A and B are shown apart, each in its own frame.
Chain A
């Protein structure tokens, strides 16, 4: 197992009688880990526990072996909150510089670092304008700049793609991927699951304050082996194809749509071979597409189950 930069050991967090997080044990190592869950699943609470903003009611949180309550430990953490408030009258550069200076950096070092990181995030032209005139995407980048300015070993990004346009999303995705490749442990939550899928290596799926699954996407899908898979078969003669498919034991449901046939099956490699053979033999199958290998589908199944 890779060394864990961030570790939750039996962590629970209650607000009065409401449990936000229940007995979460989790180890996050270098690379990008996606945190997936619906609203209220406990994603933000988990991140706030990791950066010391909240304290666990039970259990322990460790960042590189230290408690996030300690100032020395927080030097290793960069947290980008799901928050759209700033000191609005400051410029982006000044805001980041102030925060860096507040945490001990000298005046010129802070200003230089702030300029570098804002430029890296594409705010070179806007960094000296007041934040209150920034677009949502620019504001998000200021937060990211602040998060990354001190080059933390553990990066916590709470919904970093919110409000970004597609180009900016792609850029932020690349940035996050780069951080992971650079050796940082990056925990990133997002509702945009298909984009999370594009840059995260591992996933943690949360539901109602608990972790329901964790691992690479393929591993998560494998946990659902007994569950029927949905496959789309593109065909010019869907009715004929459907008739042939109904004869197969491993096909439990067949549905005809405009572009072909959608089946539900519990069959694995053997069925794939038969479908490939069917396509070659009769020319009925033009294309075979798995419909539920995406993160959304896996997450949906896990939550249902």
Chain B
């Protein structure tokens, strides 16, 4: 067990280092810096039109970061880390070494989670710095609160864990997991989060439990409250819904178990015949 854990952690470390060298990560970093400068300019105009700093900060982070950038980044990195090896067959080197495939997959997942948490942290810190540090004339003098930034940091961590698990499942199962990932992030997440809760479909999304968790943690007002409000709430008895953390744990757990089952059982051999 200790050996298995050591193998897992080593694979996670290697995955993180490989992802750190990925061009996408650097593009993301540069984009975050450019966005921060643009955001600081837009924020000044919004403030002059009467927007308070906490609402503006929350809306931007939620809509751009949690709903779009983070899922896209984590699913992409997950697919690159897990399916990239299978596609170019470099996974062969690991598969023939004396280590269990479960350690390989979970190690890669952990590496992707770490990368996702890192990117999420960069996004939150850069956004906070862009909106809280310059002297912006926010309405009622309300600047973006540090506590809210920390809550968003926690939310991005939760989301990264779950999105990485979904990416692991897509990468293990599909021949074209990037397409499947795009369908999940852009299509399924939006549709599933809008579905009536009684259908049970929301449990199969990451976006909905993350949103519900944020709504429970932040005393939101104004547009942020509207953004975090449950869709179709007139149909919902909140007590019927699973706790958001339990929902995320369930989704991530099931996705990882399925991914493990496929990854350890399947023969990944791109050359079917010599």
Contacts and interface: CB of A to CB of B under 8 A. Distances in A.
Contacts of A85: 88-90
B95 A71 contact: no
Interface stretch (B26-34, B178-186, B264-272): B264-272
A71 B100 contact: yes
B1 interface: no
A52 interface: yes
A18 B273 contact: yes
Contacts of B18: 87
Contacts of B7: 102-104
Interface string B243-274: 00000000000000000000000010101111
A204 interface: no
B96 A53 contact: yes
Interface in A241-283: none
Given A48-B269, A71-B98, A83 B274 contact: no
Contacts of A89: 21
Nearest to B268: A53
Size range of the chain A interface in the assembly: 35 or more
A140 to B, nearest CB: 14
Nearest to B99: A103
A55 interface: yes
A98 B274 contact: no
Nearest to A74: B98
B235 interface: no
A29 interface: no
B6 A104 contact: yes
B11 interface: yes
A77 interface: yes
Residue with the greatest number of chain B CB neighbours at <10 A, chosen from A20, A51, A85, A86: A85
Nearest to A106: B6
A228 interface: no
A37 B94 CA distance: 27
Interface stretch (A38-46, A111-119, A297-305): A38-46
5 contacts: A20-B274, A43-B274, A48-B269, A71-B99, A79-B96
